Amino acid sequence: MKREVCTGCSLLCDDIIVRSDGLFIDEIYGACLKGKEHFDQVISPNRIVKPMIRKEGKLISTSWDEALNKTIELIKESKDPIFYGFSTVTSEAQLKGLELARIASGYIDSNSSICHGQVLDVAKKTGISLTTLSEIINKADLIILWGANAAESIPRLLGKIVFSRGKFRMTGREIKTLIIIDPVKTASFNVMGVRDIALRIEPGKDFELIKMLKEECCTENSIPEKGIAGIDKSDLKRLLVQLTNAEYGVIILGQGILQANQKLNVIEELLELVEMINNKQERGRISLMTMGGHSNMVGFDQMTLTFYGKRGGIKFENGNPIDSDDNIISKITRDNFDLMFVVGSDPIAHFPKALSSKIAKKPLIVIDNKKSATTMVADVVLPSSITGIESGGLMFRLDMTPINVKPIIKPPSNVLSDQEILEKLIEKFKGGGK
């Protein structure tokens, strides 16, 4: 039995006990339901183990050579391809994806662009105070979930940061205050205790709440009598007291606030509020953490920032990155693409119908280890190993901490890793493959 890293979500738990003989996984201890489902994918009937191409309207099994050659043919015929996904593969594979997009003069982006990437984009202008899981465990006395249903999105997160004891928080849960700001009573509300604060905000009113907190400048004397955004005066006062008196507070941002009224820059206002509190705070400080769900979505942003100085959304032309205001949504909306290459993602299922229908009408190539709505309409499907179970490499946890994951068992016969598939495509594109 060994401790292994679970790549079922962005928490990348490194305390999962796995018993395996290198060929099969016999037992798993410590994994949440999400992690267990991830390990079950190894033997799932939904698993893809053979390359497929579409002929006469049907996907049929084929050889690797034919599938790879068809992929290269489609990419070379394309003048404006989109490369998308890359959030569940290793950073080594992400770099190969960037290389393929570069030589194909394509546009590349990850799931981050419709998730936590918005925070990093705004942070270029306002600055940002980030934190890590270790700091939260060891120091935090205030944890705020803002539009984040951690109990279901990342099941073990609250157990690690709320109920654990740290170096400077030996009393653990007893001294930690949990505040949840959400329009919906999610499963996360079930872990709240007597000292915690549940704030049921009106949908789309995050901007108004943040604006009020900024205008009050962290004082308690002029809070509106009728409250704001569906939150009464007494709860607003308690929120301000916690924000201004915490020794070490963290605000965890989820999709609820990231998608809250896109016409108003909610994230910019929130980052400015945090900066304002920290400038006035004498006792402690407030930090942020984003709660992206995919196992290595943070890693893609790390790679693009490191090698191209930009967070995702990179357009290449003649082998060089060029300035572009496009994002994945705007390109699809304007039909500004003629091919889509998807790695480890399911945009057909997850995007609105208006966008999914546009994707389905263009040539579509997919690298994935399981069937999905996207693979069902693809022109080429290339099966890959499961990262963290059948192949390894570098990944980044949701707090941007690098984690090295190792393979536990061997992949099915003739199934390659995402990195190996992309390397073969690059070689063939450059003319070195057969």
pLDDT band at 434 (very low <50, low <70, confident <90, very high): very low
Q: What is the DSSP string of 48-61?
A: --S-EEEETTEEEE
CA distance 351 to 85: 12
Mean pLDDT of 153-172: 87
The arithmetic mean of pLDDT across residues 6-12, rounded, is 96
Helices vs. strands in the chain: H and E counts, helices first: 17, 19
Choose the final residue of a domain: 247, 265, 290: 290
Same domain, 252 and 338: no
Residues 180 and 226 in one domain: yes
Tell me the C-alpha distance between 266 and 332, whole Å: 24
125 and 110 assigned to the same domain = no
pLDDT value, residue 199: 95
Q: What is the mean pLDDT of the chain?
A: 91
- Burial category of 362 from C-beta neighbours within 10 Å (exposed 0-12, middle 13-18, buried 19 and up): middle
Contact predicate 405/387, CB 8 Å: yes
- Kindly state whether residue 131 falls inside one of the protein's structural domains: yes
- Are 319 and 366 members of one domain? yes
**Last residue in a domain, options 253, 270, 290:** 290
Span 327-342, pLDDT tens digits: 899 999 999 999 999 9
Q: Give the structural domain span for 207.
A: 117-290
Total residue count of the chain as it appears in this document? 434
Examine the domain organization and report whether 274 and 334 are in the same domain. Answer: no
Residue 186's CATH number: 3.40.228.10
Whether 211 is in a domain gets the answer yes
Q: Are the CB atoms for 281 and 274 separated by under 8 Å? A: no
**Alpha carbons 151 and 221: distance in angstroms, whole number:** 35
The pLDDT assigned to 261 comes to 52
pLDDT tens digits, 300-355: 999 999 999 888 889 999 889 987 878 899 999 999 999 999 999 999 999 999 99
Residue 434: inside a domain, yes or no? no
Q: Give the helix, strand, coil percentages of the chain, each rounded to 5.
A: 40, 20, 40
User: Does any domain span residue 400?
Assistant: yes
Give the pTM.
Answer: 0.92
Rounded distance, CA 260 to CA 241, Å?
A: 25
Based on the domain organization, do 108 and 187 belong to the same domain? no
Evaluate the CA torsion angle 101, 407, 27, 383 in order and state its sign.
Answer: positive
Contact 209, 246 (CB under 8 A): no
